[in-house]
Amino acid sequence: MGMVITAAATALPDRSAPASAVDLAGRAARSALARAKVPASSIGTLINVGVYREHNTFEPAMAALVQKDVGINLDYITDPEPAAGFSFDLMNGACGVLAAVQVGQALLDTGSTERLLITAADVHPGGDARRDADYPYADLAGALLLERSADDGVGFGPVRHYTADGPTDVEGYLDTATMGRHGRTAITVRREPDHAERLGAFAARAAADYAREFGIDLDRTLVIGPSTSADDVGAHGEPHTAAPVLGYLAAMDGVRHDGHDDGHGHDHRHDQLLFVSVGAGPSAACALYRPEGR
């Protein structure tokens, strides 16, 4: 059985209060559930892959807080449809969503869960990325709802991870020597000059290696790369861990169609998608995806 995306959604802060990774992830998750018309109680596992959080929070697991915010199986004894809810954080930087997809394939294949929810939210530790000119990422969340399909020819193919030689030129960390009393609202993100070009070249090599390994026809494949953005996001920073969700929604909505749209948001030239993520490490991840009904 293939693992397919049942629904996807993103969320941006409303700026009436400081941005919260838990709030944004919860809103994206609820939007995805609403689009799929399924209750929160039907989610067996939630994986949270966001990196940057308000106040640089690292414990408890953010996934547990997102699970509570969404209301996923909080009390399996009193719930009218008893089910145990399991959630955990998975930290793999910009490649986090595809790492979670790989874990999700194993969970769904073994029948450990019927539906799996991936959330990816990044916010500036101070609550507003716009106020820090040196911080490159947007306050943004995304969510993917995944489940099994009876059709083996659709859904995600294998996930592959790649590591480049040489030291990373992108990293985010707490600089304890300089943060002083502002440590809970500050973060240092170091990116060397021309890092985007180097990461872009590495992503292209990873995609080419993946295509060769699995015999993918790139002429019929739409690549969802790490630079995917949107007008309401790009003005306030780059997408980070939620970039694959943003790219998937853009592809399925026909934003990047090139004249082959059938009028219903379907591009018949491209009947499959190739997710490509790249980030610190340097590391990259790729996964082919064949939507249902293509």
The count of other CB atoms within 10 Å of the CB of residue 157 is 19
Q: At 285, is the secondary structure helix, strand, or coil?
A: strand
Q: Which two tokens stand for residue 214?
A: 């699995």
Mean pLDDT by 10 residues, the chain (294 residues): 90 86 95 95 92 81 93 75 78 94 93 91 86 86 93 91 85 74 74 85 94 92 76 68 94 59 53 92 93 76
The number of C-alpha atoms within 13 Å of 119 and in the hemisphere containing its C-beta is: 35
pTM of the model: 0.88
CA–CA separation, 107 and 116 (whole Å)? 8
Q: At 203, is the secondary structure helix, strand, or coil?
A: helix
Helix axes 96-109, 243-252, angle to 10 degrees: 80
**Per-residue model confidence (pLDDT) at position 105:** 94
The number of C-alpha atoms within 13 Å of 151 and in the hemisphere containing its C-beta is: 10
Query: How do the domains of the chain map onto residue ranges?
Result: 2-152, 157-290
Identify which of 269, 281, 271, 277 has the alpha carbon closest to the alpha carbon of residue 100.
277
**Per-residue model confidence (pLDDT) at position 83:** 63
**Per-residue model confidence (pLDDT) at position 232:** 56
CA–CA separation, 154 and 36 (whole Å)? 18
Length of the chain: 294
CA–CA separation, 201 and 84 (whole Å)? 43
Fold for the domain defined by 157-290: Peroxisomal Thiolase; Chain A, domain 1 (3.40.47)
Assigned superfamily of 2-152: Thiolase/Chalcone synthase (3.40.47.10)
Taking a C-beta distance cutoff of 8 angstroms, is the pair 52, 171 a contact? no
Which amino acid is it at 248? Answer: Y
Is 2-152's fold the same as 157-290's? yes
**Per-residue model confidence (pLDDT) at position 9:** 96
Torsion angles phi and psi, residue 87, rounded to 5? -140, 150
Taking a C-beta distance cutoff of 8 angstroms, is the pair 216, 158 a contact? no
β-bridge pairing 272-279 and 221-224: parallel
**Per-residue model confidence (pLDDT) at position 262:** 47
CA of 90: how far to CAs of 60, 61, 143, in Å? 13, 10, 14
- The helix (run of H) or strand (run of E) holding residue 147 is strand 140-149
Which residue reads 């308000």 in tokens?
A: 54
**Per-residue model confidence (pLDDT) at position 246:** 94
Q: Where are the beta strands (DSSP E) in 29-166?
A: 45-48, 86-89, 115-122, 140-149, 155-163
**Per-residue model confidence (pLDDT) at position 191:** 82
The count of other CB atoms within 10 Å of the CB of residue 84 is 10
**Per-residue model confidence (pLDDT) at position 215:** 94
